[in-house]
């Protein structure tokens, strides 16, 4: 069994190899070096929390953090958000999600580079990229995404999620805020 340090080194080596293999596609990211550390930190936090769950819990094991509201529950999600597409043939599903995630990351990196003057939007893109990268690592090396944050009220459970999903959700929230509120301010300045 690997130590936490060995696992962290392995994750960062995998991230480095993944980025090196895709370097021609990520030239804009190289030009924005100060954001790479942020992306690595969020994706690293995601992988670290998943490491703790994988190495300290059995699959489907659960323990209460806040009784009646929040559990840590080890789940492997073969699908997308809320388990969508979980019933597809595993080989096709894996290939589909890996390709779609890589394409999405490339598009978001391109948008981030073109819109780098919009700080909130750039921050949003970095969060989305971080989350996508965290879940991509799971899909490549585990074949499924590790989910463990389980919120519920009574018998009604929100689908389990992870730190990467949080990063994506918060990134999308800030992106919507930026587009709705700050775009209007910028267009009013031009008038």
- How far apart are alpha carbons 26 and 182 in whole angstroms? 27
For the question of residue 46 being annotated catalytic, the response is: no
Q: Which of 46, 138, 150, 165 is catalytic?
A: 165
Measure CA 90 to chain center: 21
**Cα(183)–Cα(63) distance, integer angstroms:** 44
Helices (H), 22-89: 27-30, 33-56
Catalytic entry in 46, 138, 147, 178: 147
Q: Is 10 in the active site? A: no
Phi and psi based region of residue 109 (left: phi greater than 0; alpha: psi -120 to 50; beta: remaining): alpha
Q: Provide the 8-state DSSP code for 111.
A: H
> Which residues participate in catalysis according to the annotation?
147, 165
């Amino acid at each position: 069994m690997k130590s936490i340090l060995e696992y962290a080194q392995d994750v960062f080596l995998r991230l480095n190899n993944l980025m090196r293999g895709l370097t021609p596609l990520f030239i804009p990211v190289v030009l924005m070096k100060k954001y790479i550390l942020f992306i690595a930190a969020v994706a690293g936090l995601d992988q670290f929390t998943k490491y703790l769950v994988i190495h300290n819990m059995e699959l489907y094991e659960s323990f209460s953090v806040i009784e009646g509201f929040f559990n840590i529950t080890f789940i492997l999600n073969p699908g997308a958000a809320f388990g969508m597409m979980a019933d597809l043939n595993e080989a096709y599903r894996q290939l589909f999600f890996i390709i779609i995630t890589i394409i999405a990351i490339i598009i978001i990196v391109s948008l981030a580079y073109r819109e780098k003057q919009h700080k909130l939007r750039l921050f949003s893109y970095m969060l989305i990229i971080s989350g996508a990268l965290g879940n991509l690592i799971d899909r490549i090396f585990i074949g499924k995404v590790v989910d463990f944050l389980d919120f519920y009220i009574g018998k009604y459970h929100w689908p389990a999620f992870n730190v990467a999903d949080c990063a994506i959700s918060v990134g999308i929230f800030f992106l919507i805020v930026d587009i709705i509120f700050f775009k209007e301010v910028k267009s009013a300045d031009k008038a």
